[in-house]
Amino acid sequence: MQAPTDPGWRQLVSPAELAYCLDLELVGEHVAARLAAKRAVAEALRWPGPVPWSGIEILRMPPGRPAVRLSGEVEQWRRQLGLPVPRVSLSHAAGYAAALAWLPARRDAEDR
């Protein structure tokens, strides 16, 4: 894996995502978990093309849970389909990263 400070990473993660990850000991694992989460979010939304990396942000909200922020075309897509904002769970250890995304039940959705 290239160093997350490489300029190519800026096409995949937002400045806020990168700043958060750079403050952590296992920078690469945290970045990889966010990339896995972005891919999972795109799949949960049934996005029809390549992962819209810049349209999906995985942010950390108090008290530490990850949250999804959508923008641009992917946010328009979500609204057109009437879908809630996906929720995510991230995990990483020993050089590996994984993420899950799901659409919350309408009554549980925070973003309507």
User: Measuring CA to CA, which residue among 2, 27, 17 is closest to residue 66?
Assistant: 17
**Residues contacting 67, CB < 8 A, separation 6+:** 58, 59, 60, 61, 88
Q: Which of the two residues, 30 and 80, has the higher pLDDT score?
A: 80
Compute the Cα dihedral for 43, 46, 50, 51 and give only its sign.
negative
Classified as helix, coil or strand, 87 is strand
| pLDDT for position 9 | 66
pTM equals 0.84
**CA-CA distance, 17 to 36, in Å (whole number)?**
13
- Find the mean pLDDT for residues 43-64: 92
**Tens of pLDDT along 71-100?**
999 999 999 999 999 999 999 888 889 999
Per-residue pLDDT at 22: 76
- Show the tokens assigned to 49: 């093309």
